[in-house]
Structure 1
Amino acid sequence: MAGARAVGSLPVPNVQALAETCNGPDEPIPERYIRTEASSEEVISNYQGDMTIPIIDLHKFLSPQSSEEEYVKLRSACQYWGFFQLINHGVPDEVIANLKRDIVDFFIQPLDAKEEYSQLPNSLEGYGQAFVFSEDQKLDWADMLYIQVHPSDSRDLRFWPTSPASFRQSIDAYSSETKSLALCLFEFMAKAVDAEPESLLGIFEEQPRGLRMTYYPPCRQADKVMGISPHTDVVGLTLLLQVNDVQGLQIKRDGKWFNVDAPNGALIVNIGDTLEILSNGKFKSVEHRAVINPNKERISASLFHYPCENMVISPLPEFVKDGKVKYRSISYHDFMTQFFTEQLDGRNKLEILKLEQ
């Protein structure tokens, strides 16, 4: 993602180290991390019927007996949820297990070992933070390691850890195995709404992909902090891997927050702003956030799929069959720059691109 190499984030204290010093029940949390909204909105944990986050079985698209029903489920997931849980996705268990192991091993290292891969002032690649643009804004309770994984010749290996020794190999294998999976998803999503698969494949095939690995330390006063602020992803598509068994992802629907608990071995897929615009609103980019566990760390890995940075994003003719264009055009570079240089604010950046209907 070239955009991540054009903007930076202000340096702030390492949250993992901070958590070790202020994680007693009576220890004060620094004011910049206290988020009153963390516990002020309703959260739904047990959903039923049409309030269940869809589970999509990728294998069923390959069977004539089950593909039609699965396309219906996928269309509903893309139009009404913007998120779904993907099973039978074809990424080998060994590849996922190796990546999980190495991500955990990276984050449990001493701080000075991780800081060898620290971000540079004008880039989000490396170990550190994102979305910190002022000295007085509220901060998220998390640290991250972000790297660009595709194209392979664009990788900046300064930020690719060499400890654990197998880390680079694990990331490379995961990137390779998920490449065809993402293309399948773009193809099936287009077919689900009766659009030509090439309409999306031509935009995302062989384009940049970035991997963000996030460590959310525990906090005894978890209801006072936020793992990551409510936002939508600016990208086309995100594949989220839950690295350990601690959940924390929540999505917003009808003004309420829903917990997303990924089945073992599943990937969580969410639609980004770019795909909502390209589909003229047929696919929905949904506001989501991460909350903190009081006793255990949470670790996740998000694989972002970007379009060409030089493109102008606007509704594709394939998705505007009724002639009603619903979104303004914007250069993806400008959209990315805006996203990474301003505070996360739910769906607001996307909403301002909507045309009056």
Structure 2
Amino acid sequence: MASAEMVCVTKPRVDAVEILVEKGITSIPEKFIRPPEERFTSPTPSEYGEEQVPVIDLQGLNCCEGSVEREKVLKQLAYACEEWGFFQIVNHGIPESLMEAMMNVSKAFFGLSVEEKQAYAALPGLITQGYGSKYIAREGATRDWRDFVYLFLQPHSRRDYAYWPSDPSDFREVVYNFSEETLKLAKSLLGAFSLNLGLPQNYLETFIVQPYQNMLINYYPRCPEPELTAGFYAHSDIGMATLLLQETGSKALQIRKNDKWIPVLAAPGALLVNIADQIEIISNGRYKSIEHRVVADKD
């Protein structure tokens, strides 16, 4: 007679930063304290002056080939990629209502109790899908002051809907629509980058063969000692490019330019684009993948 052994698999618990905030701590644990040389705060306007990442109106990109409007946008994109590695885009084709919905479902999910969010806890390992707080779990590494949801979106075969929150009820629908729209936008930008590099318009898209698209939703709880830690450590991005939806008016993100850290002031209705490592490599360093970071804040 055969016997069957029952195995109970228990999902891990997320060591969420939010739990510390709920406890009302007044000082942060040692694992979040960065070495003195890695600490940073928001600079005052006098420290970074009027310098700010370019804001580019993409509407002209849809004009006919060779038109003045189209050439103007291509020139602006080339300058931003070569001199900044970062730029904000408006009139990019993604409905403002969808961007607002994406922000709303993100806030609604992180507004749930920690216990409710634990249902989507990411498995241990290097960058796995789901709700978590340790992006790269390395022994002895300094922790960032943030919680997040990380999802694989493209190709569809990589998706694991067990990690897509069902609360709020429209989360999955909004993420699906946002994924499709941002993928179309990314392909349009890659076409512009290709042309500016003197390549056929479809070169970078063809080079990828099959696009991989991931989504990282970051939540930065208030921090009692922001001067000792970071919301997100200084890094550059892997892949081809990143499209970032920020809260309007936010200046928590900083980019490194000419050995200065410049806060990015999020413009209304804009998406922030940053060149990632693969495009810097493909362009032989002509396009820049720039280091960036996020400050923590008492509020």
**TM-score of the superposition, structure 2-length normalised?**
0.87
- Residue pair 1:41, 1:257 contacting (<8 A) in 2 also: no
CA drift at 1:43: 6.9
Task: Give, in angstroms, the shift of residue 208 of structure 1.
Answer: 1.5
The secondary structure found in structure 2 opposite 1:66 is helix
1:251 is the counterpart of 2:250: no
Q: Does the Cα contact within 8 Å between 2:41 and 2:295 map onto a contact in 1?
A: no
| CA displacement 1:199-253 (0-9 Å, x = unmatched) | 2010236411110101011113221220010000011110000146543100001
2:30 corresponds to which residue?
31
Give the superposition deviation at 1:278: 1.2
Whose radius of gyration is greater, 1 or 2?
2
Does 1:130 pair with 2:135? yes
CA shift, 1:76, in A, is 1.1
Residue aligning to 2:15? 13
CA distance in 1, matches of 2:158, 2:263: 36
How far has the Cα of 1:260 moved from its partner?
0.2
CA 1:221 to 1:40, structure 2 compared with 1: closer, same or farther past 3 Å? closer
Indicate how the Cα distance of structure 1 residues 73 and 221 shifts in structure 2: closer, same or farther if over 3 A, else same: same
How far did residue 193 of structure 1 move? 2.8
Alignment of 1:303-314 (within 5 A): none
User: For structure 2, which runs of at least 5 residues remain unmatched after alignment?
Assistant: 1-11
User: Is residue 200 from structure 1 mapped to residue 204 from structure 2 by the alignment?
Assistant: yes
1:142 maps to what in 2?
146
**Any unmatched runs of 5+ in structure 1?**
1-9, 296-357
Is 1:79 the counterpart of 2:68? The answer is no
Change (3 A) 1:244 1:116: farther
Give the drift of 1:74. 0.9
8 A contact 1:43–1:258 mirrored in 2: no
Deviates most, 35-44 or 278-287: 35-44
SS of alignment partner, residue 234 of structure 2: strand
2:132 matches 1:114: no
Query: Residue 172 of structure 2 aligns with which residue?
Result: 168
One-letter amino acid of the counterpart of residue 93, structure 1:
E
1:100-128 CA-to-partner distances (Å, cap 9, x unmatched) read 11110000101111110111123511111
8 Å contact from structure 2 (residues 191, 201) kept in 1: yes
Distance 1:21 1:189 in 2: 48
Q: Find the residue that maps to 2:286 and give its secondary structure.
A: coil
- CA distance in 1 between partners of 2:128 and 2:14 (Å): 13
Q: Which moved more, 1:120-129 or 1:260-269?
A: 120-129
Aligned positions of 1:207-286 closer than 5 A: 207-243=211-247, 245-286=249-290
In 2, Cα distance between the equivalents of 1:156 and 1:12? Answer: 18
Q: 1:103 aligns with which of 82, 106, 110?
A: 106
Measured in 2, the distance between the counterparts of 1:41 and 1:103 equals 25
Larger mean Cα displacement after TM superposition, 246-255 or 61-70: 61-70
How large is the Cα RMSD of the aligned pairs? 2.1
Counterpart-to-counterpart distance in 2, 1:181 and 1:209: 12
The question of whether the paired residues in 1 share the 8 Å contact of 2:248 and 2:266 is answered with: no
**In structure 2, distance between residues paired with 1:160 and 1:67:** 39
Aligned residue identity for 1:90: G
1:91–1:177 contact (8 Å) kept in structure 2: yes
Q: Determine what percentage of the aligned residue pairs are the same residue.
A: 33
Instruction: Give the match's secondary structure for 1:250.
Output: strand
Q: TM-score, normalised by structure 1?
A: 0.74
Q: Which amino acid aligns with 2:151?
A: I
Give SS of 1:140's match.
coil
